[in-house]
Chain A
Amino acid sequence: MSFLKKHWQVILTGLVVGAFAVALSALGNPANMGFCIACFLRDIAGGVGLHRAEVVQYVRPEIIGLVLGAMIAALIGKEFKPTGGSSPMTRFVLGFGVMVGALMFLGCPLRMVIRLGGGDLNAVFGLVGFAAGILLGVAALNKGFSLKRSYAMPALEGYATPAISIALLVALVCFPALLFFSEKGPGSMRAPLLFALAAGLIVGALAQRSRLCMVGGIRDAAMFKDYHLLLGFAAILVAVLIRNLALGKFTLSMAKQPVAHTDGLWNALGMLLVGFASVLLGGCPLRQLILAGSGSADSGVAVIGMTVGAAFCHNFKLASSADGPTPNGKIAVILFLVITAVIAVCNLQKEKE
């Protein structure tokens, strides 16, 4: 069947991501947070002391695994390619903005899907905002938005992000005294290190092969009526839903959902920012990690932007909690929506040529 032949990789990746997401939560990660790129980068920022929010500090092995899994798959597939030089500082700012939006909503696009699969109806508001943000980005792309070309770079540049990941792993395993570890709160809830690392490696490799991207799905559907990546998105949702139903972990409600708040407007606006800024970056936070593992220094800078953004979010009280959004967080989301719009407009290039 040509449908399966064309799409099996991305569907398989989605199903595996969904299955691991539920398994990671069952084995210790916070509920509906088997995977969350935003939350985990935030935990890592805390783990190395960039912020001192004591409940969200842990160097998450999932992230390390994702980067290294992508690197290994890219090397085997002869797709590892050190590149960079495509508006790095703009990418840093956009990555920062993605995190401001994600921590308003409390989750990256991947966690949004996982929350949906757990019955968290607040994520519906997030999804609406997310799709609207993607459409804003698509409008910019259609008008000629570009962060300009990337160029071939020396090998060292491409291996920088994997090397940083390995350094974090060495610190986590051999020198944990250097790091911060939450004793309570989401940061203290963790699946066993080896399982988390293996889950990251497997998902990282599959996501590199299949180009799975939460933003790309809706973007390509809107721009080209191409539903390929959206199938991956759907596969995650189906896998999470089925596993949650089987384990009796599916709770359909808005109130009392794990690591979530019920402010619909700000859930939507947070994800509006995530969608908009992610389209300009060329992919969701997961995709940025995968590209960074495959040699893209540009995506590496976006990941650093997200990580630094997470530290600022907690140092300046921008991040929401289960109690809801903070006044500072609302100001920051509006500010970064404006900044993202300015970046979009300033990078429109005239057609011709």
Chain B
Amino acid sequence: MKHIDAIGLSCPQPVLLCKKALAASPEGIEIEVDNTTACGNVTRFAENLGYKVTVKEADGTYLLAIAKA
């Protein structure tokens, strides 16, 4: 699965990276962010597109697995 490193980036950049990555690999991606705002925004964006999002938190970073629902 394509991995996007969005650590340290503030919104809307993580969402934008996610949007571009999903356009390139529509089957799904994983993206890592380090703040709850980005986590929430990426989740909302992906869910609005009909994807399923699974969040794993570790040490203040969030790994979001975005896959076709």
Q: Residues on A close to B: CB < 8 A?
A: 6, 77, 79, 81, 83, 86, 141-142, 146, 148-152, 211, 216, 219-220, 223-226, 228, 282
Contact A224 B13 (CB under 8 A): no
Contact A150 B44 (CB under 8 A): no
In the bound complex, how far is the Cα of B45 from the Cα of A226, in angstroms? 7
For window 1-45 of chain B, which residues contact chain A by CB distance below 8 Å? 7-13, 15-16, 19, 35-37, 40, 44-45
Contact A223 B8 (CB under 8 A): no
Apart from A149-B7, A211-B40, A219-B12, what are 12 other A-B pairs with CB-CB below 8 Å?
A77-B36, A81-B35, A83-B8, A83-B35, A150-B9, A216-B12, A220-B12, A223-B12, A223-B16, A224-B12, A225-B48, A226-B45
Task: Report the tally of A-B residue pairs with Cβ distances under 8 A.
Answer: 47
- Could you list some 9 contacts between A and B, CB below 8 A? A79-B35, A86-B8, A141-B16, A142-B16, A146-B9, A152-B60, A216-B11, A224-B15, A228-B44
- Is chain B's interface secondary structure helix, strand, loop, or mixed overall? helix
List, in ascending order, chain A residues with CB within 8 A of B7's CB.
149
List, in ascending order, chain A residues with CB within 8 A of B10's CB.
86, 150, 282
- Pick the residue among B9, B15, B16, B40 that contacts A149 (CB under 8 A): B9
Contact B60 A81 (CB under 8 A): yes
In the bound complex, how far is the Cα of B44 from the Cα of A108, in angstroms? 28
List, in ascending order, chain A residues with CB within 8 A of B11's CB.
216, 282
List, in ascending order, chain B residues with CB within 8 A of A142's CB.
16
List, in ascending order, chain A residues with CB within 8 A of B36's CB.
77, 79
Contact B12 A146 (CB under 8 A): no
Contact B45 A141 (CB under 8 A): no
Contact B48 A226 (CB under 8 A): yes
List, in ascending order, chain A residues with CB within 8 A of B35's CB.
79, 81, 83
Given A211-B37, A224-B45, A226-B48: A150 touches B8 (CB 8 Å cut-off): yes
Q: Which A residue's beta carbon lies closest to that of B7?
A: A149
List, in ascending order, chain A residues with CB within 8 A of B13's CB.
141, 146
Closest 5 CB pairs between A and B? Answer: A149-B8, A150-B8, A282-B10, A79-B36, A211-B37
In the bound complex, how far is the Cα of B8 from the Cα of A83, in angstroms? 8
List, in ascending order, chain A residues with CB within 8 A of B45's CB.
224, 226
In the bound complex, how far is the Cα of B69 from the Cα of A258, in angstroms? 53
List, in ascending order, chain B residues with CB within 8 A of A6's CB.
44
Q: Give the Cβ gap from A154 to chain B, nearest Cβ, in Å.
A: 15
